[in-house]
Structure 1
Amino acid sequence: MKIQENISLSAYNTFGINKKARFLCEAESREDVLYAFNQSRILNKPLFVLGGGSNILLLEDLDAVVLKINIQGIDSIREDGEQVILKVGAGVVWHDLVRYSIEMGLSGLENLSLIPGTVGAAPMQNIGAYGVEIKSVFDHLEAMEIPSGKLRVFTGKDCRFGYRESIFKNKLKGKYIITHVAFRLNKKHQPNINYGDIRLTLKEMGNAYPSPVNISEAVVKIRQQKLPDPKELGNAGSFFKNPTIPLFDFNQLKNQYPEIPGYPVEDNRVKIPAAWLIDTAGWKGKRCGAIGVHEKQPLVLVNYGGGTGTDILELSGKIQADILGKFGIQLEREVNTISSENLIQL
């Protein structure tokens, strides 16, 4: 594996932010990961682990060894009459896995079609869409400890999945590199079409009894209508998490904003769409120079070209302050900001 020097990361992050890596290693195996560990020590540079770059905001050049995880492979490792367990390399493009599973006649991932990024990042933030989260199809994952390189298997319980959350985003952040993820998928289709616009879109497409292919096509259609293609317009998908607030607070807001949507969740709390809050506050479609809020989906901040990570971070801060002032709700960023503080010293 070659180590490259002074490489622009604009092609390695979906915002298209032009920041440089002092060194870049692209790992296609566990051995390559160990090589990157050694280079980090030899060069006396910290390490930064990069997946698909679809959930990061680069704030500065990285004077580090940037390790891009490109481990490939999709293999069936266990099967019974009802389910198949697929073990997948962390560098596999997520939507490629979804398409592969559908082609194999398996169900479980179709609602997660067209989510940007790689397989290795999926369990880190427990990605979810249209009523399905990774934890519902997760079997286990394999990860290498930093810096020892020891391999450890994590079960779903070990991962401590929450809403856009896992142990790898808090307690074990920067402690492990995910190399493979195993998913438990169904041979018998159990459609989940009760969330969002899926049912209506399927009806419009003439699919009364939808297959996984039909559901995937519907999800792709919805996402393409609402979300910009990062290849055409720099973005990282949903920039903010949907907040949850106590039921009492929601009812108070309901008196002031009768049209406010809310979805009951556990612990007598209500989840509110962040998109509705941002739209109602007047941010939808607002442009600030080279960056702005997407005209169709206010959850998405965009880089029209030439914008910096700092520009986008400042815009997100203004939105957060406005939502807090108008609704008393603190929006939390879903996108990870990357600077020297995120680097791992081996």
Structure 2
Amino acid sequence: MVSSENKVHDFHIKNILKRLEEKDLDAMMVANFNNIYYLSGYLSTSFAFMIVKENPIIFVSGMDLENANNNSSIDIIKYESADQMVEYLNEEEIKDLAIESDLTANAYQKFKDFNLTISPAISIERMIKTDDEIDKIFKAGEIAHKSLLELDVRSKQEKGAEEWECAYELGYLMRKNGASTESFDTIFASGPVSSLPHSTPRHHKLDTPVLVDYGCKFEGYCSDTTRTFVYNEKQEEISKIVLEAHDKAIKAVKEGVKSCEVDKVARDIITEYGYGDKFIHSTGHSFGLDIHESPSLSLKDETILEKNMFVTIEPGIYLEGEFGVRIEDMVLVDKKAKIVGNLPPIL
């Protein structure tokens, strides 16, 4: 009996083969761990090469054979050498070979005798989430939001806790509540360093405001949320502007809208209040197995949003040397946006 996961893998592989056929490509070589996992259920811990063709196959490191045998929905071969793979590709009469954009230069050199073409086929396929992927992302969000509430940031601030210990405890709580790991290194920034969008937690007592950007993985799928805890009138004023941009950008998210149009909604609001030059990143990005996937909600991205895409909405204002405020939520694209979870934007 074929499992539901195997059917999903077959569905994705067939769609990718259609995209390759449209470009007259014989097959695709995949080395990205998450892409291989997406197509087979096997997540490499060392290295692997997957050949996507009518009968796909994965060349697996000897270290990972047991793992692959237990989890892969497609056939595997023990990797011996690049020459072994070249011989296999020649036997299969593969000449025009698609590769990923992040293939290493070293790997590229080993297969340069084939007609190599960079293909976005898998990243395009990954934009639209299946029902199972949607469920896992909502679960990851639920775990993360529950954990932040349990941490009780305001209480930690009153007790003189340090940034690093709060970040560490939040990671512990997410794992305790069912996550496998964090989606990325947790950002716990307070006081002046909250104006750094990617600040690193310090051995420093929590100052005000406190910006927390964090997420977790559930069965491979990421969540991503930001909350800023504000404490005085100036911080509240900036927070209200960011929240207005956040709310109106979410209302702009729906199938058929261009990514850049959502960015423009948030950016225009912040600009109207005189802080346009203090909004120093895009309004959001997609996510899934990776924390950053295509499309991005940026001025130059004209990707048309489709049903069952996920994007973040995360406008921010950063006042150098003073503080920063960012509010971020995940939304599922449909006829109108569906927010992941019910964590209040102001805590």
TM-score range, shorter chain: under 0.3
Q: What TM-score, normalized to structure 1?
A: 0.26
Q: What TM-score, normalized to structure 2?
A: 0.26
Relative to total residues, which structure has the larger strand share, 1 or 2? 1
The structure showing larger relative contact order (alpha-carbon pairs under 8 Å, at least 6 residues apart) is: 1
Relative to total residues, which structure has the larger helix share, 1 or 2? 2
